């Protein structure tokens, strides 16, 4: 297991912790929907709202096969499948995430349309031109070789298919305050700049259809989340389930990072010619 995977791996009890938290909150497993898990499995800034924007950008149908590069606990994959009827294959480096993602899809009745495999997002092993769309959500900050990531997305995507990148970028405000939800320090953190991305994606062969900076909305989202926790207490299951005791400091750092423009959140919608 490499450093990146180790950062996201707890003592092997993540699924049990999520299950216990749902039980304690009185959530009926028989009627569980993907949205009920969003506080823990939509592990990216602006959560499910951002995933819905991604779905709209991809223009999916029930016949679409989507590749999620760095699928984590599978929240975006389940939201895509639930809202559009498509099929999603998720690839993630962390074995426990794939195990939990598979179980959560079973709990929400989406195991037939979402599959999760342990693998490298820069070398998936999938055939050329085998998927209709691809996404990567808050993943590239952990990948030093971004050209390899985007080249792989281009390779597996069919001509005319769309690729959406929603990531945290290095901002103009200076070095990032650590820890953050993707890294304890800079040794495993490799955020690109906006200028980098404007070069990487066309170099991989993509046409960039749109570029949307949501940094202001991201700051408001974090501030709202903190206010709600202070007012109502934390939701039954949150990112703290696997980020542990550092979660509060990470959240505070993210508010500062966004406010000081040390990070930016940007979504790129791309097409393979």
Supply the DSSP string of the chain, one letter for each residue: --HHHHHH--SS-HHHHHHHHHHHTT--GGG--GGGGHHHHS-STTHHHHHHHHHHHHT--TT-EEEEET-TTSHHHHHHHHHH--EEEEEES-HHHHHHHHHHHHHTT-TTTEEEEE-BTTB--PPTT-EEEEEEES-GGG-S-HHHHHHHHHHHEEEEEEEEEEEEEE-TT-SPPS-BTTBSSGGG--PPPHHHHHHHHHHTT-EEEEEEE-HHHHHHHHHHHHHHHHHH---SS-THHHHGGGHHHHHHHHHHHHHTTSEEEEEEEEE--
pLDDT tens by residue, 163-199: 999 999 999 999 999 999 999 999 999 999 999 999 9
pLDDT tens by residue, 235-269: 666 656 656 677 778 888 999 999 999 999 999 99
Q: Is residue 24 very low, low, confident or very high in pLDDT (cuts 50, 70, 90)? A: confident
Q: What is the mean pLDDT of residues 223-239?
A: 73
How much is the pTM?
A: 0.92
pLDDT at 123: 97
C-alpha 56/C-alpha 184 separation (Å) is 33
Architecture, CATH, for domain 3-271: 3-Layer(aba) Sandwich (3.40)
C-alpha 152/C-alpha 140 separation (Å) is 13
pLDDT at 236: 61
Mean pLDDT score of the chain: 91
Task: Specify burial of residue 84 (Cβ count, 10 A radius: 0-12, 13-18, 19+).
Answer: buried
Q: Does the pLDDT at position 1 exceed 50? A: no
C-alpha 268/C-alpha 197 separation (Å) is 9
């Amino acid at each position: 297991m490499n450093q990146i995977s180790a950062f996201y791996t707890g003592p092997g009890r993540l699924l049990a912790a999520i299950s216990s938290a749902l039980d304690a909150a009185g959530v009926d497993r028989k009627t569980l929907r993907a949205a009920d898990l969003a506080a823990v499995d939509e592990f990216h800034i602006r959560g499910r709202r951002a995933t819905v924007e991604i779905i709209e950008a991809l223009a999916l149908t029930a016949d679409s096969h989507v590749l999620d590069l760095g699928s984590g606990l599978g929240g975006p994959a389940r939201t895509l499948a639930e809202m559009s009827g498509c099929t999603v294959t998720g690839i993630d480096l962390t074995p426990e995430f794939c195990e939990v993602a598979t179980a959560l899809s079973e709990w929400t009745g989406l195991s037939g349309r979402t599959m999760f495999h342990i693998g490298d997002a820069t070398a998936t092993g999938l055939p050329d031109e085998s998927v209709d769309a691809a996404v990567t959500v808050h993943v590239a900050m952990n990948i030093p070789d971004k050209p390899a990531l985007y080249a792989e997305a281009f390779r597996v995507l069919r001509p005319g298919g769309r690729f959406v990148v929603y990531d945290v970028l290095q901002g103009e405000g200076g070095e990032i305050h650590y820890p953050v939800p993707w890294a304890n320090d800079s040794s495993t953190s490799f955020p690109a700049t906006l200028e980098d991305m404007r070069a990487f994606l066309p170099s991989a062969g993509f046409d960039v259809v749109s570029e949307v900076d949501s940094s202001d909305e991201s700051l408001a989202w974090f501030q709202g989340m903190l206010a709600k926790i202070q007012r109502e207490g934390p939701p039954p299951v949150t990112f703290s389930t696997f980020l542990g005791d550092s979660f509060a400091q990470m959240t505070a750092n993210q508010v500062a990072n966004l406010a000081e423009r040390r990070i930016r959140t940007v979504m790129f919608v791309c097409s393979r010619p």
